[in-house]
């Protein structure tokens, strides 16, 4: 009991550290979820449940605090996931007095799953999906079909990729509990069908969501990644090709329209011819990292070191096979992601189960050294996570100093420069993190974007390609003027830039004082430039989605902007 209390204290400390370190962090995915919550619209790319949970945040929390409020919600999901992982293993190992060595090992593995693979830092529904996945596993073991059907429906509404997991889990359970499986399946379909009808009405076709098809087109079939696919009937309009620049004045009056509903902009482009070579390449590029993360589960090195002490290999295999009801769905969903794209957060519960179930079987057969070696090996994995979080917090508190929300501060400077709430703007820079625009209540209607690639290594990081921005700043003045005019034609009143080269032509630009870290290790200032009114008025906005009139034109007075939170 004392050990469990210490582990809970450690859980709370890591959760609070991550909440503090990332309290202002927000990027395009999170902004899209908040916009969907604000507008309460059907969106075939972003699953609805996470946005529904954010409705109280967008309605009642001050704008400058919304990122912190959502990260607080993510913290609750993280604590719940650790609790569920503990309950799951207490069900799998119902001994009255659990061995302390294994208790510490599996608890550290849960930390790894929650705070490393998933992380509070990410503004995503993965923490919610993690909780629902573990709950579904518990309900299967407890044979509760009604609750299982409801939880699996919620899991699908939180993340569309959870529907295949739900069907595979129910298919496996059918061999054990046929009547209960049929009941759970019926409840799943009854709960999901209204959303499928809404998607049918929204898209004009039957679909469970478009995220899978689009990600397969981006990551496997070679479609231009993410923001600005060209050639479709509804693609963003390209106004320059050297450098690339785009405008999108209609139809979405949101912070960053290209990422609010990618299925709209990429309509028709996701239907690519199947390429066996591309598919095999994806399986290799994704399969290797999945295997690496499975090996990295806390305690694996101890099992490897003590493998020579294991004599009962047949019993070990029998114990692992006895958990097939949990392992088969985990393996199947891991294979599904390997065929498209893998990030650790996608497979956090699967890697946890695929790692800890064999580890438990090895631990119980490795003798006395396992009692101390397994926790030590697991602690070594978690140690680096803890050091990184402590270092990040110490850097801010003792070196940089605690500051208010930098995005809100930048927005206030832009307001002072004349870009008032509701003003359409264009952007030159990293369009994956337009939190400054959300804080300023601006609407981005055009941009000169970064290009994005994937690191083929084990971590599958996003690689930022600055070549398009460098080409813009090196371009002749006439080329830049033409792009500015294109932005103005689309309604933009100002153009905002981030990461401006030192030798770039900055005539007409004003540098803002607040520095914002949009890219890790790259803390730079913003620049703002007013745009002259266009010779021809911008195109009329689509019905029901007109861009908001700037506050200065509505009331003829500058609006009051709340200060950012400390």
Grouping H, G, I as helix, E, B as strand and the rest as coil, residue 286 is helix
Tell me, what's the pLDDT at 519?
59
Please state, in angstroms and as integers, the Cα–Cα distance from residue 309 to each residue in 104, 295, 303, following that order: 21, 20, 10
Model confidence at 537, pLDDT cuts 50, 70, 90, reads: low
Taking the CB of residue 311, how many other CB atoms lie within 10 A of it?
11
Residue 2 predicted with pLDDT over 90: no
Tell me, what's the pLDDT at 408?
92
Residue 418: CA count within 13 A, CB half-sphere: 10
Model confidence at 566, pLDDT cuts 50, 70, 90, reads: very low
Give the global pTM. Answer: 0.90
Q: What size, in residues, is the chain?
A: 566
Residue 37 contacts residue 58 (beta carbons within 8 Å): yes
pLDDT digits 0-9 by tens, 64-109: 999 999 999 999 999 999 999 999 999 998 765 578 899 999 999 9
Enter the tokens of residue 453: 């690639």
Enter the tokens of residue 381: 């994995």
Model confidence at 367, pLDDT cuts 50, 70, 90, reads: confident
Q: What is the mean pLDDT of residues 184-210?
A: 95
Handedness of CA 286, 122, 193, 168 (dihedral sign): positive
Residue 74 contacts residue 30 (beta carbons within 8 Å): no
Nearest partner of 425 among 416, 436, 266, judged by Cα: 436
Tell me, what's the pLDDT at 536?
63
pLDDT digits 0-9 by tens, 325-341: 999 999 999 999 999 99
Tell me, what's the pLDDT at 522?
53
Model confidence at 250, pLDDT cuts 50, 70, 90, reads: confident
Tell me, what's the pLDDT at 486?
95
Residue 563 predicted with pLDDT over 60: no
Residue 323 contacts residue 93 (beta carbons within 8 Å): no
Grouping H, G, I as helix, E, B as strand and the rest as coil, residue 331 is helix
Nearest partner of 357 among 15, 104, 106, judged by Cα: 106
Tell me, what's the pLDDT at 538?
54
Residue 433 contacts residue 402 (beta carbons within 8 Å): no
Grouping H, G, I as helix, E, B as strand and the rest as coil, residue 448 is strand
Q: List the domain boundaries for the chain.
A: 2-206+288-306+319-367+380-399, 406-555
DSSP string, 469-535: HHHHHHS-HHHHHHHHHHHHHTT-SEEEEES--TTS--TT-EEEEEEEEEETTEEEEEEEEE-PPPS
Grouping H, G, I as helix, E, B as strand and the rest as coil, residue 307 is helix
Nearest partner of 21 among 461, 345, 391, judged by Cα: 391
Residue 348 contacts residue 114 (beta carbons within 8 Å): yes
Q: What is the mean pLDDT of residues 379-407?
A: 84
Q: Give 256's contacts (C-beta < 8 A, 6+ positions apart).
A: 28, 31, 32, 431, 434, 437, 444
Q: What is the mean pLDDT of residues 412-430?
A: 94
Tell me, what's the pLDDT at 450?
86
Taking all residues of the chain, what is their mean pLDDT, rounded to a whole number? 88
Q: What is the mean pLDDT of residues 140-160?
A: 97
Q: What is the mean pLDDT of residues 167-193?
A: 96
Q: Report the run of H or E that residue 14 belongs to, with start and end.
A: helix 2-21
Nearest partner of 221 among 272, 146, 266, judged by Cα: 272
Residue 326 contacts residue 88 (beta carbons within 8 Å): no
- Kind of pairing between the strands at 443-449 and 424-429: parallel
Q: What is the mean pLDDT of residues 355-376?
A: 91
Residue 445 predicted with pLDDT over 90: yes
Model confidence at 564, pLDDT cuts 50, 70, 90, reads: very low
Max distance between CA atoms of the chain, in angstroms, equals 83
* Measured distance CA(526)–CA(548) in Å, rounded: 24
């Amino acid at each position: 009991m004392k050990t469990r209390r210490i582990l809970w204290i450690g859980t709370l400390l890591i959760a609070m550290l991550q909440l503090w370190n990332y309290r202002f962090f927000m990027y395009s995915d999170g902004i899209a979820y908040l916009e969907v919550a604000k507008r309460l619209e059907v969106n075939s790319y972003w699953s609805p449940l996470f946005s529904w949970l954010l409705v109280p945040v967008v309605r009642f929390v001050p704008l400058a605090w919304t990122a912190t409020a959502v990260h607080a919600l993510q913290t609750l999901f993280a604590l719940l996931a650790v609790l569920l992982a503990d309950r799951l293993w207490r069900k799998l190992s119902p001994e009255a007095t659990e061995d302390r060595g294994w208790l510490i090992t599996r608890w550290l593995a849960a930390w790894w799953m929650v705070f490393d693979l998933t992380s509070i830092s990410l503004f995503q529904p993965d923490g919610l999906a993690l909780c629902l996945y573990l709950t579904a596993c518990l309900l299967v073991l407890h044979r509760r079909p009604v609750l299982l059907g409801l939880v699996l429906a919620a899991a699908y509404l939180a993340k569309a990729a959870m529907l295949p997991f739900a069907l595979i889990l129910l298919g496996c359970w059918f061999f054990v509990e046929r009547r209960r499986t049929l009941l759970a399946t019926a409840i799943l379909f009854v709960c999901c069908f209204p959303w499928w009808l809404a998607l049918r009405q929204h898209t004009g076709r039957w679909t469970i969501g478009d995220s899978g098809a689009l990600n397969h087109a981006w990551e496997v079939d070679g479609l231009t990644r993410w923001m600005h696919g060209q050639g479709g009937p509804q693609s963003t309009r390209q106004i320059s090709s050297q450098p690339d620049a785009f405008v999108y004045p209609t139809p979405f009056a949101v912070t960053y329209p290209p990422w609010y509903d990618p299925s709209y902009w990429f309509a028709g482009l996701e239907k690519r011819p199947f390429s066996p070579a591309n598919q095999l390449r994806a399986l290799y590029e994704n399969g290797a990292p999945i295997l690496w993360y499975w090996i990295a589960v806390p305690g694996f090195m101890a099992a490897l070191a003590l493998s020579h002490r294991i004599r009962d290999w047949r019993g070990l295999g029998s114990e692992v096979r006895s958990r097939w009801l949990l392992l088969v769905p985990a393996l199947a969903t891991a294979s599904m992601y390997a065929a498209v794209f893998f990030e650790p957060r996608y497979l956090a519960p699967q890697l946890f189960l695929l790692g800890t179930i064999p580890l438990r079987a090895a631990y119980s057969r490795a003798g006395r050294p396992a009692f101390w070696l397994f926790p030590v090996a697991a602690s070594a994995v978690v140690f680096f996570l803890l050091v990184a979080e402590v270092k990040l917090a110490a850097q801010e508190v003792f070196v940089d100093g605690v500051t208010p929300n930098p995005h809100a501060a930048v927005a206030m400077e832009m307001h002072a420069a004349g870009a008032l709430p509701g003003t359409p703007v264009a952007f030159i820079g990293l369009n994956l993190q337009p939190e400054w625009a959300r804080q300023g209540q601006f609407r981005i209607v055009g941009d000169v974007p970064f290009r994005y690639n994937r690191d083929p290594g084990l971590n599958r990081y996003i690689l930022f390609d600055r070549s398009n921005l460098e080409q813009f700043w090196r371009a002749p003045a006439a080329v830049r003027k033409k792009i500015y005019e294109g932005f103005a034609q689309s309604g933009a009143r100002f153009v905002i830039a981030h990461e401006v080269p030192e030798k770039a032509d900055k005539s007409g630009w004003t540098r803002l004082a607040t520095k914002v870290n949009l890219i890790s290790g790259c803390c730079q200032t913003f620049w703002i430039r007013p745009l002259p009114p266009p010779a021809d008025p911008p195109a009329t906005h689509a019905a029901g989605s007109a861009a908001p009139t700037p506050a200065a034109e509505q009331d003829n007075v500058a609006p009051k902007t709340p200060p950012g939170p400390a």
